[in-house]
Structure 1
Amino acid sequence: MPKVSIIVPTYNVEQYLVECMESIVNQTLKDIEIICVDDGSTDNSGKILDEYATKDSRVKVIHKENGGYGKAMNVGLDNATGEYIGIVEPDDYVALDMYEDLYNVAKENDLDFVKSDFNRFVGKDNTLQLFYNKLDPSNKYYNKVINLQEDQKPFYFIMNTWSGIYKREYLNKYNIRHNETPGASFQDNGFWLQTFWHSTRAYFIDKPYYMNRRDNPNSSVKNKDKVMAFKVEYDYILNLLKRDPVLYDRFIYICQYMKFRNYLFNYNRIDVTYKKYWLKIVANEYKQAYKNNEIKENLFPKQEFDKLCLIAKDYKKYYKNDFGGSSLAENIFSVKNSPKNKKHKIITILGLKLKFKSKKLIAKNRQKELENNVSDLLQQIRNLQKKLDEQKIVTQDLNNKFIKQCNESVRLNQQISQLKDISRENLYANILNQTWLESCWVKHKDFTLTKGAANYTLIYILYKILEDFAPKYILELGLGQTSKLTTQYINYKNSEATLDIVEHSQNWIDAFSQKIMKNKNINIYQKDLITVEINNTVSDKYAPLDDITKNKKYNLIIIDGPFGYDRLYPRTNILDLIDNNLSDNFVIILDDAEREGEENTAKLIFDKLDKNNIKYIKSYQRGLKTQLIIASPDYQYITWI
């Protein structure tokens, strides 16, 4: 089974297709399949795909009659065999490491789906302009697992289906597919919402991998005549919701908000000849939604809710306010009889209405003079408008350059930060490798020091503490790479020391214990996870450890479990240990201290130590990940690592 199936729904995109396919076939993740669905293309798109299939066995081309984007996508989904599924639009392209990075994160965290930031772009080569798009402007939801059943804020993120990957098993479990309507008109809305409202394990990454083209003139977004496409799609979405009462109760309000947001987008997008007709549809639907109690005001930004109320109450007035009830030419200059009194005429100049008695307008010379003055005025307006248009072009060009420079600055700052982390990690790696050569008690060096499990920083810090501090009583919360080092310490360095290891998964204990040293002073305990509520948020921790820790005072406590990536207050067993099981001379190591949840737990630790009048010093060590060291003052030198 391939790790990732990449679906490319294709229709008449020959001028962009090679760039797209090259970015996919050259992915650093090689174990992929590429399913290209040619939806009845009338240009050379199908031939281009067939050529790729003859050169690369991973490329599978399905030729079918034109049936629309939704049908093409569903054919691709039904034929996919990968563990995860990605989507690439044929006029876009992707970074070469996109699917390797996303797959690793998805596997490490057992995700329903993972999505990343992306770039929109226009032009190519020397004229390429990138516009960085963040999924989460608040930066609060990146790089952690999110349960979308409990937190609906990500529903406000930019909607797209292509900047991530989805677990195929998850899509099939809930029969998540696209609406099959003709054309390529916004069927991604329904797919996106389904993936969100079923998910309990979503993940967002603050790095752009996907390049989304915005200068394709054939894009459905630019077709001003596709008036009803959004209505068809949201009728489909709401019908799906109504089939499931639980989903309906949970998500109807957010779906009605998103529907209105897209209806406004459609209003601004379509041709002016359809706008009034479209507003009537919006008004009728939201009057009914209000009667059905499907609207929650607090989900709407105030300005949008005010628009909703005005449209529902009087869509004609909204249209009139938007367009003034008359044409642009009439607003510049017109002469009309007064609708109330035929004895007067109304002259409109630049939107300013002047009222005159008719007898003053009868005189031809006066009328001619007025028309000449107006003609001169209109010519001046045209000249000013021309200069204004020229200035707009200059301003837009400067604005685009500024945005490009800002995006480049953000990208460079991100790269600098990543390079600093990598540099620190490499420094620790070099020091650790040199230390291994000099160590008398580290016999086995088969550590897996990766970003996901442990890293060089953590292992080096732990080694120095074991070497210099020589703890006698050690407690390890979480069985993993650190256990390979602590068990060697007991066997080869300090045979009088004892080591207690706590882990919740018996399967993991059975598998991993084969990789570590055994000793009568080494004990591995299985403890189930229990749910706890801290500051009105749900988290989990090991079941009470009293039977393990009774009458014990630990010199060293290593906190690397249970998993804490999706919790706001993870790994809180340490709080009970501070009360009863902390030696006078102690060191505590908290791994993953850069994450929000661990930061919150660290604050609870500090509060508990302060409450118990326990003096301590603290230090943060950073490589690819961050470790927090908390120690009694006598061991301050340990924080100098």
Structure 2
Amino acid sequence: MKLLTVAIPCYNSAAYMSHAIETILTGGEDVEILIINDGSKDDTAKIADEYANKYPTIIRAIHQENGGHGEAVNAGLRNATGLYYKVVDSDDWVNEESLKEVLGVLHKMVESGTNLDLLVANYVYEKVGARRKKVMNYRSALPRNKVFGWADVKFFKTSQYILMHSVVYRTKLLRDCGLILPKHTFYVDNIFVYQPLPQVKTLYYLDTNFYRYFIGREDQSVNESVMISRIDQQIRVTKIMIDSKNVLQIKNRKLKNYMIKYLSIMMTVSSVLLIKSGTAENLEKKRELWRYLKEQNPRLYRKIRSNLLGQSMNLPGESGRKMSILGYKISRKIYGFN
């Protein structure tokens, strides 16, 4: 059995997937790399097979009909033999020294018999044209270099919400919580992080700049115009997160507050994109999304609606919508969403 499975979802990734693969290969035999070819039409399949033939004890190529990013993550989870599971997108990569640190911590957990559920590490925005690389760390929110529980967590800033880039989950925990991501849907990384959290009892924060998150392709899913064109998928993901758990029933106050804040951010991002599109149809979708939250969980609706982000997304009239966009822009600059 491997220590860490790294799944690399690939769709027409021939131009850049090798960089991701090469950085993860530095983990050696501790690592299993699953290259998930999600119905690519370029040379992705050929490159995946070449790597699998060259490194048969480390790399497996998995070919499937196109099912989208979520189904590629699902395929990785179904096939993983590692004790821990990490997703690295094909245009991103990991820092080799940090990978050694991550593997070192996981080895310690196994050797000591510690049932670690979630390892969190920093990620770096590798943004095209940016002079300074923005590092997302959790120093003010999480204890460093030790196993801890939710009771030991401090205050999360809005900029410190945990993304897929930050996490290494215990594989069995992901399977036990029934995690299955929807097909043909972008932004499912939010479900990947969010849904398993109530099952997480033990955490470890490694203060190292592990994941390198590339931002800059025009067709990238986090490009604002692309997000607006795919707004129905953003809404779908937000609704799945609302339905996945009644967060108000979570006993641990810190975990409950964190998950409420995460949902607030999802509602905010969805709302502002619907507002920015400027169409009557999308403004109605915004109202429908808030109605959905109210119908599914009235208490949670009141809690999210009453906080600053919720209030700013529901100001009436055209002037209110302009204020919502302005508030979002300021928040994005301060907190670094998408």
TM range (shorter): 0.7 to 0.9
Equivalent residue number for residue 113 of structure 1: 118
Aligned with residue 172 of structure 1, among 149, 170, 175: 175
Distance 1:93 1:321, change over 3 A: closer
Q: Which is further off, 33-42 or 135-144?
A: 135-144
> Residues 531-550 of structure 1: matches in 2 within 5 Å?
none
Kept in 1: contact 2:6–2:33 (CA 8 A): yes
Q: Is residue 2:293 matched to residue 1:294?
A: no
Matched, 1:49 2:48: yes
Q: Distance in 1 between matches of 2:130 and 2:292?
A: 46
Q: Write the distance in 2 (CA, Å) between the matches of 1:269 and 1:47.
A: 38
Q: Equivalent residue of 2:96, what SS?
A: coil
CA RMSD of aligned residues (A): 3.3
> Could you say which residue in structure 2 is the equivalent of 1:261?
265
Cα deviation, residue 178, structure 1: 4.0
Distance in structure 1 (CA, Å) of the matches to 2:151 and 2:71: 28
Q: 2:286 aligns with which of 261, 274, 282?
A: 282
TM superposition shift of 1:188:
0.8
CA contact (8 A) 1:178 1:190 kept: no
Relative to 1, partners in 2 of residues 1:70 and 1:152: Cα closer, same or farther, differing over 3 Å? farther
Q: Which residue of 2 aligns with 1:77?
A: 77
Q: Partners in 1 of 2:176 and 2:7 — Cα distance?
A: 19
* Structure 1 segment 573-612 matched on structure 2, within 5 A: none
Structure 1 partner of 2:321: 319
- The within-5 A match list for 1:426-441 is none
- Rg larger for: 1
Which residues of 2 match residues 204-283 of structure 1 at below 5 A?
204-222=205-223, 223=226, 224-242=228-246, 246-247=249-250, 254-269=258-273, 272-274=276-278, 277-283=281-287
| Structure-2 change in CA distance of 1:148 and 1:320 (3 Å) | same
Q: Which moved more, 1:72-81 or 1:11-20?
A: 11-20
2-structure distance, mates of 1:74, 1:152: 32
Task: Report how many residues are paired.
Answer: 313
Q: In 2 relative to 1, CA 5–322 (structure 1 residues): closer, same or farther, beyond 3 Å?
A: closer
The letter for the 2-side match of 1:306 is Q
5+ long unaligned stretches in structure 2: 327-338
Q: SS in structure 1 opposite 2:41?
A: coil
Q: For the residues of structure 1 that align with 2:209 and 2:288, how far apart are their CA atoms?
A: 40
Kindly indicate whether residue 164 of structure 2 is the aligned counterpart of residue 158 of structure 1: no
- What does the per-residue CA deviation read over 1:232-284, in whole Å, with 9 as the maximum and x for residues that have no partner? 01221222215x99549977765454233223334455694456544443344
Instruction: Report the 3-state secondary structure (helix = DSSP H, G, I; strand = E; otherwise coil) of the residue aligned with 1:99.
Output: helix
Q: Distance in 1 between matches of 2:305 and 2:209?
A: 28
Letter in 1 for 2:3: K
Partner of 2:202: 201
Find the aligned partners of 1:155 and 1:201 in 2 and give their Cα distance.
21
How far, CA to CA, are the matches of 1:36 and 1:323 in structure 2? 39
SS of equivalent to 1:14: coil
**8 Å CA contact retained: 1:11, 1:45:** yes
- % identical equivalent positions: 20
Give, in whole Å, the separation in 2 of the partners of 1:323 and 1:107: 47
Distance in structure 2 (CA, Å) of the matches to 1:55 and 1:138? 43
Quick check: 2:142–2:152 contact (8 Å CA) kept in 1? no
Letter matched to residue 116 of structure 1 = A
Match of residue 37 from structure 1: 36
Poorly superposed stretches of 4+, deviation over 6 Å:
248-253
Instruction: Quote how far apart the aligned CAs of 1:90 are.
Output: 0.4
Q: Structure 1 residue 101: deviation in Å?
A: 1.6
* Alignment match, 1:346: none
Other structure's SS at 2:164 match: coil
Give the distance between the partners of 1:239 and 1:191, measured in 2 at CA. Answer: 14
Using the alignment, how far apart are the partners of 1:41 and 1:34 within structure 2? 18
Q: Distance in 2 between matches of 1:16 and 1:268?
A: 32
Alpha-carbon separation, structure 2, partners of 1:152 and 1:229: 32
Give the deviation of 1:137 after TM superposition. 5.8
Q: Is 1:122 matched with 2:127?
A: yes
Amino acid at match of 1:160: L
1:135–1:158 Cα contact (<8 Å) kept: no
Secondary structure of the 1:237 match is helix
Displacement, 1:195?
A: 3.0
CA distance in 1, matches of 2:71, 2:142: 36
TM-score, structure 1 length as denominator? 0.44
Distance 1:253 1:275 in 2: 33
Q: 1:158 to 1:276 in 2, by over 3 A?
A: farther
| Structure-2 change in CA distance of 1:98 and 1:275 (3 Å) | farther
Give the secondary structure class of the aligned counterpart of 2:236: helix
Q: What is the identity, as a one-letter code, of the residue corresponding to 2:230?
A: K
**Is the 1:143–1:203 Cα contact (8 Å) retained in structure 2?**
yes
How many Å separate the matches in 1 of 2:89 and 2:38?
A: 13
